[in-house]
Amino acid sequence: MLLRLAGAILGLFMSGLPAAAADFDDPRRVYLALDEAADAVVECGGGRIRVVFADGARGLDRDRVLAWVRRAATAVTTYFGRFPVDDVGLLVIADGGDRVKTGTTFGFHGSAIRVIVGRDASDDAFARDWVLTHEMVHLALPQMDERFLWLLEGSAVYVEPVARAMAGQIPAEAVWRDALSGMPKGEPEADDRGLDFTPTWGRTYWGGAIFCLLADIAIRQQSEGRHSLRDAFTAINRASGGNTAYWSMEEIIATGDRATGTDALAELYAKMSAVPSPADLPALFAALGVRAEGGAILFDDSAPLAPIRRAITAN
C-alpha cells in the first residue's frame, strides 16, 4: 500500500501537537513518532532501518520482530542488489491478532513505513508474512502521478514473491501459485479503459503485476537473456534514489529501457495504458510451463518459455 500526502507536514510539526497519540492513522503522526530515537537499527545491504516501536508496542517480542525486519530487508536487497534507500524509518504498531496485519509506505518527508503487527503472531506467521517485503519494494521506485499507481502497486505485488524466492525464503512454486490465483483478478473487465484510466483494486494491484510479468518476459526475450525487469527497476532505483523522488512515466520508461537496451517498457505501456489489452493468461502460463493441479503447482520444463520462468526466480 502507498500513501501520498501533498504538503502539510511542516504545519503539524510547527503546531506542536503531542507525539504520544494512540492513533497512528494520520501519516504525520507516523513521521513525528519516527523523529524519536530509534529502539533498534537494522543495517542491511547498505541501508539503515530505524525501527521505532510505537508507544513501546507492548506485548510484541522485539527480537522476533527484528529478525522479521532483517529477513524482509534481505529479500529486497537480494532483488535490487542493495537496500533500495539509504535510510528508512519503520514504525511498528502492536495490535490484537496473530499475524502481520497491514503496512503502508510513505515518501513525502523521508522514507517511512508503518506496519501493524498482531501481538500473538508466531514465528511461523512472521516467516509467512509478505507485507513487509511488499512495503520495502515500494521504497525502490519513485513516487508517480496518481494514475500510475498501478505500476507502483503492480511492481510491489510482482517483485515481493520473486525477491523472497531469490533469497531462498520461499520456493519458486509459491511465486507461481500467487500468479496463477491472483493475476486473473487483474485482467480487464467490460468497461475497462486501460491501466492508466481504470483505478479498480484488481487492475491496480494485479493488472500492474501482469504488466510486470509481461515486461520481464519481453525484456528477457529482446535481450536474449542478458537483461530482465530487475535491471530496469534497479536502474530506476539508483537514478532516482527511491521513493522520496517524484518521476514522470516518461522518465521511468526511458531509464528502464536504457538499462536493458530494449523498447520493452515503452512498447508494453503503449499497448496497455489506454486500452483494455487482455493478457490471455491461460496461454501465457501454458507457455511458461506452470499449472495448478489438485492444490499442487506443477512445472513443465519442455514449455517454450520454461527457461524464462526458471530464470525469474533464480539468483
Residue in the structure block whose three cell numbers are 524509518:
89
How many CA atoms does the CB half-sphere of 176 hold within 13 Å?
Answer: 27
Of 30-38, 146-154, 210-218, 226-234, the window that binds Zn ion (rule: CB under 5 A) is 146-154
Which residue's CB is nearer to Zn ion, number 102 or number 248? 102
Helix (H) or strand (E) holding 15: helix 9-15
Query: Minimal distance in Å, beta carbon 73 to Zn ion?
Result: 17
> Applying CB under 5 A, which part among 63-71, 155-163, 173-181, 290-298 lies near Zn ion?
155-163
| Cell digits of residue 84 | 533500495
Least gap, CB of 160 to Zn ion (angstroms):
9
Which residue stretch of 6-14, 71-79, 148-156, 239-247 sits at the interface with Zn ion (rule: CB under 5 A)?
148-156
Cell of 143: 513516487
Q: Applying CB under 5 A, which of residues 1, 19, 38, 180 lies at the interface with Zn ion? A: 1
Told to check if 100 binds Zn ion by CB under 5 A, we report no
For the stretch 133-137, contacts whose Cβ atoms lie closer than 8 Å and that sit 24 or more positions apart, written own/partner, are 133/72, 133/75, 133/76, 133/160, 133/163, 133/164, 134/103, 134/160, 135/1, 135/72, 135/103, 135/104, 135/105, 136/72, 136/73, 136/75, 136/76, 136/84, 136/88, 137/76, 137/79, 137/84, 137/163
- Answer yes or no: are the C-beta atoms of 244 and 110 closer than 8 Å: yes
Distance of CA 40 to the CA centre of its chain: 23
> DSSP assignment, residue 54?
G
Residue 186 or 289: the one with the smaller Cβ distance to Zn ion is 186
Burial class (CB in 10 A: 0-12, 13-18, 19+), 185: middle
**Which of 44, 72, 156, 217 is close enough to bind Zn ion by CB under 5 A?**
156
Minimal distance, residue 127 CB to Zn ion, in Å? 21
Within 194-223, the residues that bind Zn ion by CB under 5 A are none
Closer CB to Zn ion, 94 or 157, in the complex: 157
Nearest residue to Zn ion, by Cβ distance, number only: 1
Kindly tell me which of 153 and 196 has the beta carbon lying closer to Zn ion: 153
Task: Give the integer Cα–Cα distance in Å for 98 and 275.
Answer: 42
Please choose, out of 88-96, 150-158, 186-194, 223-231, the segment that lies near Zn ion by the rule CB under 5 A.
150-158
Residue closer to Zn ion, measured from CB, 90 or 156: 156
Judged by CB under 5 A, the stretch of 151-159, 167-175, 177-185, 260-268 that binds Zn ion is 151-159
CB 226, min distance to Zn ion, A: 30
CB of 206 to Zn ion, least distance (A): 12
Size of the site for Zn ion (CB under 5 A): 3
Q: Which three three-digit cell numbers place residue 238?
A: 539508483
CA dist 258 and 271 (Å) reads 19
Minimum distance from CB of 290 to Zn ion (Å)? 24
Give contact residues for Zn ion (rule: CB under 5 A): 1, 153, 156
